Structure formats: structure tokens, C-alpha cells
Structure 1
Amino acid sequence: MRIIDLGLMEYEEAEALQLKTLETVTAGDEENTVFLLEHPKVITLGRQGGAENLLMDESLLAAQGIQVAQTTRGGNITCHFPGQLVAYPIWRVEKRPGGMKQFFCDMEEAVIRTCAHFGVAAIRRQGHPGVWVDETKKICSMGIGVRRWVTYHGLALNVGRDVSLFNAITLCGIQGAVPTSLSTEAGYDITMKDAKYVFSNEFRKAFTHPPMVAGQAPGKP
């Protein structure tokens, strides 16, 4: 695999790069690729909807330079902003053991291990893809698209303390869910550079030697 740091990139530019890379990975011209980046402030809607969970008028958001974008990923509404680590795996899953269930499990595992490195105990929440600190505090959102068994889109891990953009939405459309971040939960400021370094290592581990599918007992198919 190759992991590429794109720095800060506009949402549309990153989406175009994903689609271009998806074609080359699908054709076998590129190896599995993970893009790491931050986005300027943007609110995104998933294939399953999300506009109903937008709590501010789009004109007011636009006046603050905040875009609302329709996407082709799964899931509901979420937002991106500087201080949030976004990872877009362009990944072939067709022949990968465990299929999409394992793919999500491995993404969650990479985030859980990253959180643990900084002293934050994170968990999965049944029925809600992503990573949580408890049953209400969400630290990482996930949503992907798939074309010809190659994934795109991915995950967003809150690193910095400022998660105020989430005030403009009902987080992932889940009533009662509140955002949190690595820095908030760790009790000290974690740099994006450090978060990217740790996440890159944990992603490589999880996807090179994937953990058992969550809930599957040893020895069972």
C-alpha cells in the first residue's frame, strides 16, 4: 500500500483525486492507496440523505465560507474542518477475506489503536459505524463508496479541540450523539503531524495483519 499526505485540500479537489485514483487502482495500474488530509470547513451529505439534519440555513453557512456538498458515500450528514484527520482508502476489497465487514472492522481498529496510543479508550457502537468514546461521544465518523469492488471516501477522526462546526448538524443524524476529539479526551493538544504518523502506522498494521472480524469466534468461518 501507499499512504500519501495531501495536507489541506478543498473537498471537490480531493473527490476528483479519489475518482481518478479509483480508476487506476481498479485497472491494476496503482497499488492500494490511502490519502491523508484535512479539509477547509465543509458539511457533507451521504447517499442516505442528511439535509434533514442540517440545523442552519445554507445561506448563513455560505456567508461564513462553509460549503454544503452532496457526496456518493454511505451514511448521513457529517462535517470536515481543519484539525480533523481525514483518510480516504482507495482499496480493492473483492478478494479480501471478510469482505466489506472486515474492511470496516479494520478501519475502526486502526482508529481505536490510534486513540489508545494517545491514552484514549475508544470503542465500537453496535449498529453505528465509526468509533466512539462512549455511547454518546463520537470521535470518528465513517462512510464509504464502492465501485467495482474498490472503495473510496473513508473516515474522519477529530484531532483538535475545536469541533464547533458540528453545532450546525445533528451528528450523523443520530439524536443524542455529541462530537469529541483526541485532544479533548487525552487532555492535551495533539498535533496533526503526530496523529497522522500514528494513524499511518496503525493503518498499516491493521490492513497487513487484519484483526478478527468483530464478534467472530476463533476458528469459525
Structure 2
Amino acid sequence: MRRCEVRDLGRIGYAEALALQKDLVEQRKRGLIPDQLLLVEHPHVITLGRNGRMENLLANEEVLRRAGIEFHAANRGGDITYHGPGQVVGYPIFDLREWKRDVVAFVRAMEQVILDSLGEFGIDAGRLPGCTGVWVDGKKVAAIGVHISRWVTSHGFALNHTTDLSYFQYIVPCGLTKPVTSMRELGSDASREQVVAALARNFSKHFQLEVLTVPSYTETFS
């Protein structure tokens, strides 16, 4: 069974997370480290994916500045999305050559991880035909956008846990005029620690991983 090191890094800036992923991807390509799963929370930030359209950003630079929201272009798939406090954002750095060389299967397995994790808290979520992500009654509770380089993954998913959904007013989420929701809005009082633990369990299950929780990136690789 492959090994995966899981790090709950708490709140870190988006640019810092990008730099960290870039470093880990290069180490994973060279076989210096096992698969990694970073679980983070970001300050308010809007990111635009490779396939994104600027018209899906509904606020100008000044409005974003006043709202305390950063803006970043990202090399992931997908359109535009929001990250912020109350989300659990996951960045799997997986070598798909050791699992399946199938990007669609990777995305579907990640959706299933989130579906099963939500199910542990009594939330009946599902998929929406033609749309990526995880949905409850037509509302998106988790977004997914990934990047693959020589079969090593980066970026990942954002699960709305206790997210202030009003921040989505500044975008057309993922380019779709569909509403969003959160675990809290759906009636869950699960703690972040419980959600993180459920996600780690289900990543282990669906990707056949031996999960090892480690304190932080810096303590392990410094």
C-alpha cells in the first residue's frame, strides 16, 4: 500500500500554498517524497483557473480591495472560485503513475472522497450531470480544479464547511449560475478537526493509501 503524508497546515496565504505545492510537486516527480495531502484554509481570495473568463469576476480591483479579497490567476483547471475562512481546501500531490494514469478517474475519486465524508455527517450529497464538484439539491458544496504535470497532481478541492457564502457574490462560481451552500447551512455542526479526519480516512479508502499524519511541511522538510 502506498504511503501518503497528510498535513493540516491551518490558515496560510494562497501564494504561499502555490509555492509549497510547486516545491512538493518537483520533489514528488523525483521520488524524494511519498504522496502528500495538504489541508489548509485561506484568507479571502478569488482565483481564476486556466479556462476561466474574466467576465465571471463581478467586482473590480477597488471593490475587492475594500472587501479584503486578493485575486490570483492559477494554473489549475476550471473557471473562477472563492477561497476563504471556513473552507477546508485540499491539495493532493499524488503521482498517478502509482495509482491510475487517468485524470477523470482521479477527479471522480476525489468527488467520492468528499461525498463519503459528507455522508459521515448526515449530508446526502451527490453529483450533478455535466458538472464537476459535489452538490446538494442543486447547490455546490465543494469545488474541484486540478493541475497535472508528468502525472503528478496539484491544486484540488475546496469544501464549504462554515464558509461565509456572501463572498461568492463577487463571482459567478466556476462559471456556473448556480447557488452554493455549506455544511453549516445544511445543518452540520461538525468541527474542522472532524471534517479533516473524515477526509483523510476517505482518501485512504478510495486511493488505497496508508495515511500518516505529520505536523507540518517545515518540520519534516526543513
Fold equivalence (TM over 0.5)? yes
1:36 matched to 2:77? no
Which amino acid in the other structure matches residue 94 of structure 1?
R
Relative contact order, higher structure (CA 8 A, sep 6+): 2
Aligned partner of 2:63: which letter?
L
TM-score (norm 2): 0.89
Residue 179 (structure 1) aligns with:
180
Q: Which residue does the alignment assign to 1:192? A: 192
Residues 193, 58 of structure 1: CA spacing in aligned structure 2 closer, same or farther, 3 A cutoff? same
How far did residue 50 of structure 1 move?
3.1
- Secondary structure of the 2:123 match is coil
What is the CA deviation profile of residues 121-174 of structure 1, one whole-angstrom value per residue up to 9, with x for unaligned ones? 11111221111112x200000001111110100000000052211111111111
Counterpart CA distance in 2 for 1:153 and 1:41 is 17
Identify if the C-alpha distance between structure 1 residues 19 and 77 changes in structure 2 by more than 3 Å, giving closer, same or farther: same
Residue type at the aligned position of 1:199: L
Match of 1:71 among 70, 74, 77: 74
* 1:14-34 Cα deviation digits (max 9, x unpaired): 000000000000100000101
Q: Which residue of 2 aligns with 1:207?
A: 207
- Asked whether the 8 Å contact 2:85–2:163 carries over to 1, the reply is no
Distance (Å, rounded) in 2 between the aligned partners of 1:97 and 1:20: 23
Q: Which runs of 5+ in 1 are unaligned?
A: 210-221
SS at match of 1:33: strand
- The root-mean-square deviation of aligned C-alpha atoms, in Å, is 1.3
Aligned residue pair count: 206
Aligned match of 1:214: none
Structure 2: 5+ residue runs without aligned partners? Answer: 210-222
Query: In structure 1, what is the equivalent of residue 113 of structure 2?
Result: 110
TM-fit CA distance, 1:98: 5.8
The structure 1 segments of at least 4 consecutive aligned residues displaced by more than 4 Å after TM superposition are none
Superposed, which structure 2 residues align to 1:1-221 within 5 Å?
A: 1-97=4-100, 99-134=102-137, 136-175=138-177, 177-185=178-186, 187-208=187-208
Tell me how far apart the structure 1 counterparts of residues 53 and 116 of structure 2 sit (CA, whole Å): 29
Question: TM-score, normalising length from structure 1?
Answer: 0.90
Distance 2:97 2:199 in 1: 24
Shift in alpha-carbon separation, 1:190–1:162, aligned structure 2, 3 A: farther
Instruction: State the alpha-carbon separation in 1 of the partners of residues 67 and 171 from structure 2.
Output: 15
User: Matched residue of 1:184: which SS?
Assistant: coil
The answer to whether the 8 A contact 1:160-1:190 is kept is no
Q: 1:164-208 CA distances to partner (integer Å, 9 max, x unpaired)? A: 111111111112x111011211x1432211111111111111111
CA distance in 2, matches of 1:95, 1:30: 13
CA separation in 2, counterparts of 1:87 and 1:58?
27
